[in-house]
Amino acid sequence: MAINNDVTIRTTSVTGAREIKASAHYAYILNGATLDGSKFSIAELVLEGQCLVKDDATGKYEKYADGTGNTGPAILLGANAITPAAVAGLHANTKLAVVVSGTAFELGNAALKALPIAAAAAKPAVLIGGGAINNAAANGAHASTVLTITINGKAYTATNAVLAALAADSTDAVIAAALSTAANADGTTVADVAELTLLGSIIHISTRKAGADQTIAIAGTWGAAGDEALFEGIFGIAFPATAAGAASAAETIATAISSLAVASGLTVADLAMVYVDAAGKLRIVTKDFGTAQTIAITGTWGAVGDEATVEGILGVALPASSVGTGVFPVGKSNPVILDESVKFVVDDLGANPDITVGQCIVHGAVYTGMCIGLTSTFKAALAGAVRFV
């Protein structure tokens, strides 16, 4: 008779209590909760603090994950308007880090000291004709000749019919109107977004708004040789012509943040929009949506007072952060937080069985940093029941 001496030592790893509860007052889900084994990794150890949600169809619980519907970006908004100030006195070790969705971009000491030190007013885009209007007949222009005025990326067309109606006896005002009444397909005109004036028979076009984002461009589509020279003479403008607005000091600061880059060439602008809002406040918004989107600004301060100086310039209390929003998943309900670590033990077929756990918090206070899978949407779903500390 053979004797089998099995001396194999088998061990099972376990984890100690994490103690996620932040108060002595809490309540558990009644009658426990059944974890859906098929929704977890084989033999997975599920740690205390795991956020769970019930599937309405099966009645079983699984790990919580935000839905994919109406999610939102991370938005960091300064509390006060950007206030440019002298920064030459900053310590050599003072610098900023802007972290967008896990990628850190550094605004080093030299870049900080290069920021504008005085407030400057933003200016509109202004396009000025190079010569006086020439009152010439345009009825001989080709039927496909048109002028396109593009303001802030939106195209307005002076049609062939409008151009051909210009005659040798047309007044300067009539000729200027051919440009100011150029229209977009939605019915808006140049006059809706820009001022067109005549100074000594020279055309001036100025955007109604100011800032680096303001642009004007005029170009022609020429159906026949000679049409370009004809209309350059009539309007006193050499085509194509362009103009751009000037940035304010605040916009220049926003641009400096937007252009920060890492070694790969990736910039903040690739991941987020950085701009100055109507109130003059710094605003950073991630281009992608969802709770995986994050923004943070932190500082390294080489000397006392540097933090207050930089906070005053940016209008942001540092460190500052923001997290994108998600939506509660469709077909799920009853969010809870696991208050015990449990491990799936596979069955004879090598699959996780469904297991029942008793300690799932539905009321009380928990430490945010101890939770797993916690998102702003999950927090909102438990508002009034669980307090996150």
* Proportion of the chain above pLDDT 70, given as a percent: 95
Nearest 5 degrees, angle CA 351-CA 356-CA 360? 125
**If residue 274 lies in a helix (H) or strand (E), which one and from where to where?**
strand 272-276
Tell me: pLDDT of 311 over 90. yes
Residue ranges of the domains in the chain? 27-66+349-388, 70-121+248-326, 126-244
pLDDT in tens, 28-43: 998 889 999 999 999 9
pLDDT at 277: 92
Mean per-residue pLDDT over the chain, rounded: 92
The whole-angstrom separation of Cα 200 and Cα 233 is 15
Say if residue 308's pLDDT is above 80: yes
What are the tens digits of pLDDT across the range 317-366? 999 999 999 999 999 999 999 999 999 999 999 999 999 998 999 999 99
- Give helix 172-180 / helix 227-235 axis angle, nearest 10°: 110
The pLDDT value recorded for residue 14 is 47
Q: Determine whether 265 is exposed, middle or buried from the number of CB atoms within 10 Å of its CB (0-12, 13-18, 19+).
A: exposed
CA 99/CA 297 separation, integer angstroms = 6
Q: What is the mean pLDDT of residues 193-222?
A: 95
Q: Which residues 6+ apart lie within 8 Å of 31 measured at CB?
A: none
Confidence of residue 292 (pLDDT cuts 50, 70, 90): confident
pLDDT score recorded for residue 18: 65
**Phi and psi of 231, rounded to 5°?**
-80, -25
Question: What sign for the dihedral angle of Cα 222, 223, 228, 231?
Answer: negative
β-pairing verdict for 75-81 and 360-366: unpaired
Q: Is the dihedral of CA 280, 281, 285, 291 positive or negative?
A: negative
- Say if residue 10's pLDDT is above 80: no
- Let me know: does 119 contact 355? Beta carbons within 8 Å: no
Per-residue tokens: 169: 């006896």
pLDDT of 7 > 50? The answer is: no
Q: H or E element: which one contains 186?
A: none
pLDDT of 315 strictly over 50: yes
Separation between Cα atoms, residue 327 and residue 378, nearest integer Å: 9
pLDDT tens for 374-385 read 998 999 898 889
Amino acid identity at 188:
T
For the chain, the C-alpha Rg in angstroms (whole number) is 32
Q: Is the pLDDT of residue 177 over 50?
A: yes
Taking only the tens place, the pLDDT of each residue in 87-110 is 889 999 999 999 999 999 999 999
pLDDT score at 165: 95
CA pair distance 77, 346, nearest whole angstrom: 49
Structure tokens given for 148: 């396109």
Q: Which residue type is seen at 333?
A: S
Distances (CA, A) of 238 to 129, 130, 135, 162, 217: 8, 7, 16, 19, 11
Return the CATH class of domain 126-244: mainly beta
Give the span between the Cα atoms of 72 and 69, in whole angstroms.
9
Mean pLDDT of 242-252: 95
> What pLDDT sits at residue 125?
96
- pLDDT for the residue 5: 52
